[in-house]
Amino acid sequence: MSVNDDLQWIEPVLELIRSAVAAGIPVIGHCLGGQLMAKALGGSVTRNAVKEIGWGRVTAADDDAARTWLDGTTDFLSFHWHGETFSVPPHATPILSSPYCANQAFVLGNSLGMQCHVEMTETMIRLWNRQWADEVNGNRGPSVQSPSEMYEDMDGRLTQLHAVADKIYSRWIQGLRHD
């Protein structure tokens, strides 16, 4: 699905995101959620040059926003499953990129929109490969891995990914505090 699809729930979700950000309520979005955030906040969602499916390295921007949100992590293997990408909304700061998708994450105040998936589990990866096998099988290339490639060293990769996710979510949670 795409945030550009004519689905009746999309506009109310976009408005909810805009209202939450305007009120200073932290919002976080992964993949479609990041795309919804980008569109709601003035960015656009378009087809990416290639599909990006499987494990791929993302690199942090060399700036204070990235250092704050990633607690010093400069690059890591993340999981990807997308064919579209977002532009960074006005006043937001890009913090992650990859070789196949320039905009992997942005921050706007205490909100974070991501194209990549830091929330993955082994169960999710195996389920997605069963549910969307045609998408993987029909798009082999350097940016699309086979299921067997995705399963290589999955425990080690997930352990490292979850360490980064803990940093991101810990930073996001700080925005939930009320003084």
Single-letter code of the amino acid located at 179: D
- Beta strand 28-30 pairing with 75-86: unpaired
pLDDT digits 0-9 by tens, 57-99: 999 999 999 999 999 999 999 999 999 999 999 999 999 999 9
Handedness of CA 12, 13, 14, 19 (dihedral sign): positive
pLDDT of res. 79: 98
Report the number of distinct structural domains present in the chain. 1
pLDDT of res. 177: 76
CA pair distance 1, 79, nearest whole angstrom: 18
- Residue 58's domain spans which residues? 10-174
CA pair distance 103, 95, nearest whole angstrom: 8
Mean pLDDT of the chain: 95
- Give 178's pLDDT tier (boundaries 50, 70, 90): low
Is position 121 within any domain?
yes
Q: In what order do the strands lie in the sheet with 45-60?
A: 28-30, 111-114, 101-108, 93-98, 45-60, 75-86
pLDDT of res. 25: 95
Given a cut of 70, whether residue 179 has pLDDT beyond it is no
Is position 5 within any domain?
no
Is position 4 within any domain?
no
pLDDT of res. 136: 85
Is position 179 within any domain?
no
Is position 2 within any domain?
no
Single-letter code of the amino acid located at 104: Q
pLDDT digits 0-9 by tens, 16-68: 999 999 999 999 999 999 999 999 999 999 999 999 999 999 999 999 999 99
Contacts 24+ apart (CB under 8 A), 17-24: 17/41, 20/111, 21/108, 21/109, 21/111, 24/109, 24/110
Is position 84 within any domain?
yes
CA pair distance 74, 169, nearest whole angstrom: 17
CATH code of the domain covering residue 143: 3.40.50.880
Is position 3 within any domain?
no
Q: What is the pTM of this model?
A: 0.94
Given a cut of 80, whether residue 139 has pLDDT beyond it is no
